[in-house]
Amino acid sequence: MIAHPSFPVEPWTVRETELHLDKLAQTESVFALANGHLGLRGNLDEGEPYGLPGTYLGGFCELRPMPYAEAGYGYPEEGQTVVNVTNGKIVRLLVEDEPFDLRYGTLVEHERVLDLRAGVLRRSCTWTSPTGRTVRVSSTRLVSFTHRAVAAIEYTVEAVDGSFPVVVQSQLIANEAMPELSSDPRAAAALAAPLVARFSVAHDLRSIMVHSTRESGLRVAAAMDHVVEGPDGTEAHGEAFDDLARVQVTTDLSPGRPLRLVKLLAYGWSAQRSVPALRDQVAAALAGAHHAGWDGLVKAQREYLDDYWARCDVRLEGDAELQQAIRFALFHTLQAGARGEQRAIAAKGLTGPGYDGHTFWDTEMFVLPVLTYTAPHAAADALRWRQSTLGLARERARTLGLLGAAFPWRTIRGEECSGYWPAGTGAFHINADIADAVIRYQSACEDPEFERSAGTELLVETARLWRSLGHHDASGRFRIDGVTGPDEYSAIADNNAYTNLMARRNLRAAADAAERHREVAATLGVDDEEAASWRDAADAMTIPYDAKLGVHPQSDGFTSHEVWDFASCGPDSYPLLLNFPYFDLYRRQVVKQADLVLALHLCGDSFTDEQKARNFAYYEPLTVRDSSLSACTQAVVAAEVGHLELAYDYFAEAALMDLDDLEHNTRDGIHIASVAGTWIAAVAGFGGMRDHGGRLSFRPRLPSALSLLHFRLIYRGRSLSVEIEPELAVYRLVEGEPLELWHHGERVTVARDEPATAPIPPLHAGPTPAQPPGRGPLRRTPSR
C-alpha cells in the first residue's frame, strides 16, 4: 500500500500534489497516456529522474531466442518482447547552464493531474536552481484519440524573479538506457539497444528518424515539429544524428515574458513499408496535427471523451474514492483499445513493459466485455486481430497434432511465446475465451458483417480444436483431458469444468453459425456431419460433480486432493508461484485465481442458485488471489449469492489495484484486466447484468455503503441507463428502439420516455465464507 496520500480523492482527476521519487515508476504507469496505437508512460518531461522510460506502439516488438536446458517437441523457439521505441516526450531545460533536475536545487511546488474528462496530463512546478534562479514550468501532454498517430505537448517556462538566459532542448531519442529489471517472471525481458538507425533528418524545427529492429525487421518512424513563442530574440534550430534528433530554443526570460513551446509528435511502424514510405507517413501525420493546431487537438480530445462518458459513465454514491477509481479504470480500459485497430491489447496495455507486452486471455475475458458495451468498435477490432492470426493458430494446431486453430497463450504478433507448457500450451481454454468474446459481441452488437467476415470463421476453427482435442469415452461422455484451466496452480488436469463449459458453448455457437451462414461455412469446409459432431460433443460434455460434497470440482478429482497447508504460509510466502515448486501446487487444493467461480459467472445459466452458493462457499477458503484477475470475479459471484459486503471489499481491491499498488508491480504497467474488472464488478456484480443466450438480464443489489449505482451501456444500437438504489431499480432507454430485458426474472420493456421501475427483492444469504489466512480482501470503509 502507498504510505502517503499520493492521490487526493476527486471525481474526475487523479492528482499528485507531492513528488516522491521512490514512487516514480508507479506514477509513470498511473499517468500513462495511450490510445491503443501509441502509448507514452508518464515520465517527467525532462527525462530524468525516471523509474522506467517507455514509449510503445501496439504490436511493435523484437524477437529473442528462447533457450531450453532440454528441448522438447512443439516448444516455441522465439519469444517476442515489446520495444521501447523512440522517445519524443523529452523536453530538457537549462537555466543559466544549470539543468532542470528535481534532484538538485529546491523544488518549491510540484503537481501532476491526470484529467479523465479532457484526456490530458497536466504538470506544474516551481523550482529554484542551485544558483538561485527560480522558474515556473508547466506542461500539458496528450495522446490523441482522434489523430491515431499523434501526441502533443505544450511546454511553458517563465521566470519568477530576475532575468536570465534559458535553453530548451526538445528531443527524439532512440535506444534509451534502461534500468535493470526485476527477476519476477511477470516483468519484461531486457533488450539492449534494439533499434538500428536507418534514416534521420532535421529541417528547421522538424525532425524525422526511422529505425528498424535487429531481429524482427520491423521499421518504426518518429517525427517531431514545433511551434515556438517567446520573447524578442528567441532563436531555435534543429539537428539530427542516428539515435538523437534535437531542437534547441534559446532565449532570455524575465517575469511576464514566458517561453511557450508546442511539440507535435507522430509515430508509425510497419513490417512491409519502406523507409521512405514510413518517413512520408509520419510527415503526413504531422501535417494533420499542424492543421488541427494545439487548441484543435485539445478540443477534439475533450469532445471525444465527452461522447464516451455520456455513453458509459458509472456513477456511485457512498464511496468517493471508488467513484474516482472506476472512472480511472474506464479511462485506462479505453486507452488500451480505442485505436488498437487490429492489434493485440496487451495485459498492460501501452502503459509499461510488464509480461513483455504480451496479450493473454485477459483481453477476451476481462477487457472485451467492457469494450463490447462501451466502445464496441474497439472490441470488434480486437477480435479481427485474432482472426488475422488464424493462419498462425492453424499452424500451431497442426504442430500439436490437432485440427482447427490453437491460439497462443501469450503473444504479440500471433505466434506462441509461452515456454512453459503446463500454463502455456496446456491452457487451451483461451480458444473458448476468444469464442465467448465473439458470441458476446455478436449478441450485444448485432453486427452481421462482422459475423460473416470474422465471427463465423473464429467460431468454426475454435470448435474444430475442441472436437479433436477431446474424445467420447466408453460411456459416451465427451472428455477434454490434460488441460490447464484459469487456476494455474492446477495444471494438466482432466475435464476442467470451466474449460468444458466454455468449450460446450463454443461448439454449439459454431454449429449455429454454420447453419446461419452456409456459404461462409462451405468456404471453410464445414458440412452437416461436422456441425452435427460439434453438437454431439457439446451435448455429451463432461461436467465434473462431487455428489458427496454437493459441489463441482474444478477438474476431475480436485476435491480429493490434499488441502494446501495455508496455516504455515506467512505474508512473505505469497505469491506462491515465487516461493514453492509448481509440483507441490499442482497436487493440492489451492487456487491461484477464480476458476470454477469464474464459470459460475460466465456460464451461470449452467448452475442453479443453490449450486452457485455452495460452490462459492467451497472455493473461497482455497483461493489465494495470486493474480490481479481474481478479485473482480469473486466480487461478481459474491454479490450474486448475497455476500454483498464481501463483494464490496473485492470490488475495492480490483478498483484500487494500481492506484494503491496492491500487487507492488504497477511499476511495470497498469493491470488492464483488473481495471476493466472494476466495471465488471460494478455492472455484473452489483448491477447483476448477464447476457446469456442473447437475453439481457439484471439482478441488482447494493452493499450497505452504496446508496446509488448508475451506469449506462450500449446494447444492440441502443443506449440504456440503469439506476439502482437499495430497494428499487430504474431502467431508461436513452436512445434507440424499445428494448426487452429481465429484472430478477421478470420481463420488462423500456422505451424512450417510458422508464421502467422495479423493486429489488430481498436475498437471505448463508454465512459469509472465510478466505485463506491473510488472503482475504481488505475490509472496505468509505472513509478510508
Catalytic residues: 488
- Written as one letter, the residue type at 781 is T
Alpha carbons 327 and 14: distance in angstroms, whole number? 10
Distance CA 516, CA 511 (A): 9
- Identify whether the C-beta of residue 326 lies closer than 8 Å to the C-beta of residue 679: yes
The four Cα atoms 610, 615, 621, 624 give a dihedral, to 10 degrees, of: -130
Contact (CB, 8 A) for 172 and 207: yes
Residues 6+ apart with CB under 8 A from 732: 720, 721, 722, 723, 750, 755
For residue 162, the Cα-to-chain-centroid distance in whole angstroms is: 48
Closest CA to 639 of 652, 626, 627, 657: 652
Signed CA dihedral, 602, 608, 610, 615: sign only: negative
Whether 422 and 487 have beta carbons less than 8 Å apart is answered as no
How crowded is residue 763: how many other Cβ atoms within 10 Å of its Cβ?
15
CA dist 442 to 27, 177, 403, 547, 734, Å? Answer: 37, 45, 25, 37, 22
Cis amide prior to 258 (ω within 30 degrees): no
Q: Could you give phi then psi for residue 388, rounded to 5 degrees?
A: -65, -20
Q: Per the structure block, which three cell numbers stand in for 299? A: 478540443
Degrees, nearest 5: CA angle 366-584-570: 75
Which is nearest to 627 in space by CA: 659, 590, 601? 590
Look at residues 29, 612, 673, 598 and name the one whose alpha carbon lies nearest to residue 350.
29
Q: Are 777 and 649 in contact (CB under 8 A)?
A: yes
With beta carbons less than 8 A apart as the criterion, state whether 607 and 600 touch: yes
Neighbouring CB atoms inside 10 A of 525's CB total 9
Cell numbers for 168, please give them: 530548451
Distance CA 531, CA 161 (A): 79
Q: What's the CA dihedral at 640, 644, 649, 655 to 10 degrees?
A: 60
Cβ contact 27:43 at 8 Å? no
Burial class (CB in 10 A: 0-12, 13-18, 19+), 53: buried
CA distance 197 to 217: 12
Count the Cβ atoms, other than its own, within 10 Å of residue 179.
12
The residues facing 246 across adjacent strands are 171, 239
Lay out the sheet containing 718-724: strands in order across: 314-317, 708-715, 718-724, 728-735, 756-759
In terms of DSSP bridges, do strands 562-563 and 588-589 run parallel, antiparallel, or are they unpaired?
Answer: parallel
Compute the residue count for the chain.
784
Residue with cell string 455457437: 509
Q: Which residues contact 124 (CB under 8 A, 6 or more apart)?
A: 109, 110, 111, 136, 137, 138
The Cα–Cα gap between 386 and 391 comes to 10
| CA–CA dist 573, 406 (Å, integer) | 35
Q: For the packed helices 672-680 and 320-337, what is the interaxial angle rounded to 10 degrees?
A: 120
- Alpha-carbon span 39 to 29, nearest angstrom: 10
How far apart CA 478 and CA 469 sit, in angstroms, is: 10
